[in-house]
Amino acid sequence: MRNNSEVTYLNLKETQMAIKSLKDYFQRDLANTLNLARVSAPIVVRPETGLNDNLGANEKAVNFNITNYGINVEIVQSLAKWKRSALHKYNFRCYEGLYTDMNAIRPNEELDALHSLYVDQWDWEKIIKSGDRNEEFLKTVVRQIYEVFKRSEEYINQVYPFALKKKLVDEIFFIDSQDLLDKYPNLTAKEREREICREKKAVFIMRIGDKLSNGEPHDARSADYDDWKLNGDILFYNEILDCAFELSSMGIRVDKHSLKSQLEAMNQTEKLSMDFHKAIMEDRLPLTIGGGIGQSRLCMFFLEKKHIGEVQASIWDNATLELAKDENIFLL
């Protein structure tokens, strides 16, 4: 344990070095643990392919025309659907997977200590069998990823023993979103997340996207990549900010049955005419599990930063810049 009288904090140069060390260690361990190969990924896609994601249905992708060719493209918002197509295209086999850097611009984001218009994450995807499409398999993969988080924390804390402390508990706690609502019926979804993270420190909230007993989903999810009954979010308790801190959204992906029912629930059945959706309905794409893990979120949490701008270079409004100055927060 560190002695509080000996605590020092990472300066700007040390932070930059620590970011690289932590990212390098984490992605290498993640790849080895889940049997993932690193691949290149696009930053833009054609909207008519259906490969881009509308996330919670309210976000609008940045789009532009390739001037000399009249081709309209969108900057990716995530690679959830592209990865599944890539696994098929590259002839990956069962229990093999891929990971890549995903960089996105989300212009409608509300900027705060946790959110930036620039999103950087590791996107990963792995082929599974039909018999793996169940809650126990999902939990097994979540536990494997949590062990990567724990080993990464141990590594970076050894590199900077007088600046960082242990934050993760031994095991991650699983709870269904309906059970969480039952536990805290008078709180909002975000308030429920905060309370369960305060109590358990590391939590996987399952089944996100489907309506709960209050008539609302725990959080919005697109209808065409995660199976809402077999997905969830990994959250840690952030002691510095006293909040639930999401590190990953992941899940077993839709098969043709869940795709159709979820699109019907969202009144989006017109998407079934898109290439990606046709491929699922015709069983031309593999069954997969996958997710995204925030790179800046990872660094912010384990390097004990107050603001995501301390671990990534982005654009901030004047109020944020003034607040950071007043609190001696050094934004990159």
Q: Quick: pLDDT tens for 265-301.
A: 999 999 999 999 999 999 999 999 999 999 999 999 9
Choosing from 226, 233, 255, 304, which is the catalytic residue?
A: 233
pLDDT tens, 209-265?
Answer: 999 999 999 998 889 999 999 999 999 999 999 999 999 999 999 999 999 999 999
Share of the chain above pLDDT 90, in %: 67
Is residue 182 annotated as a catalytic residue, yes or no? no
Whether the per-residue pLDDT at 131 is higher than 90: the answer is yes
In the predicted structure, residue 3 carries a pLDDT above the cut 50: no
Sheet holding 202-206, edge to edge: 36-38, 97-105, 118-127, 288-294, 243-253, 226-238, 202-206, 173-176
Beta bridge partners of 102: 121
Q: Confidence band (pLDDT; 50, 70, 90) for 55?
A: low
Task: Give the predicted TM-score (pTM) of the model.
Answer: 0.91
Examine the pLDDT at 312 and tell me if it is beyond 70.
yes
53 as an active site residue: the answer is yes
For residue 7, what pLDDT is reported? Answer: 47
Instruction: Please name every residue paired with 45 in a beta bridge, in sequence order, or none if there are none.
Output: 74
Compare 120 and 117 and report the one with higher pLDDT: 120
What is the structure's pLDDT at 293? 96
- Output the CA–CA distances (angstroms, integers) from residue 270 to 45, 169, 260, 263, in the order listed: 19, 45, 11, 9
Residue 92 reports pLDDT greater than 90: yes
Contact in structure between 269 and 263 (CB atoms under 8 Å): yes
For the stretch 165-171, contacts whose Cβ atoms lie closer than 8 Å and that sit 24 or more positions apart, written own/partner, are 165/1, 165/2, 165/304, 167/201, 167/236, 167/239, 167/301, 167/302, 168/201, 168/202, 168/236, 169/200, 169/201, 169/202, 171/143, 171/146, 171/202
Contacts of 20 (CB under 8 A, 6+ apart): none
Q: Stretch 157-161: mean pLDDT, rounded?
A: 93
- Average per-residue pLDDT for the chain: 90
246 classed as catalytic? yes
Helix (H, G, I), strand (E, B) or coil at 44: strand
Mean pLDDT of 122-133: 97
The pLDDT, as a whole number, for residue 241 is: 94
Whole-angstrom distance, CA of residue 192 vs CA of residue 185:
9
**How far, in Å, are 21, 142, 152, 182 from residue 175 at the CA level?**
32, 13, 24, 11
pLDDT-based confidence at residue 8 (cuts at 50, 70, 90): low
Confidence of residue 202 (pLDDT cuts 50, 70, 90): very high
Least confident of 43-47, 98-102, 143-147, 159-163: 43-47
Catalytic site residue from 78, 85, 116, 249: 249
Is the pLDDT higher at 133 or at 66?
A: 133
Catalytic residue among 27, 78, 106, 255: 106
Is the pLDDT higher at 207 or at 10?
Answer: 207
Known active-site residue 297: no
Q: Which domains does the chain have, with CATH numbers?
A: 9-326 (3.30.930.10)
Q: 151 an active-site residue?
A: no
Catalytic residue, candidates 121, 177, 222, 314: 121
- 192 has pLDDT over 90: yes
Any catalytic annotation for residue 216?
no
User: What per-residue confidence (pLDDT) applies to 290?
Assistant: 97
Instruction: Give the three-state DSSP class for 220.
Output: coil
Q: Is the pLDDT of residue 151 over 90?
A: yes
Active-site residue identified among 120, 123, 227, 246: 246
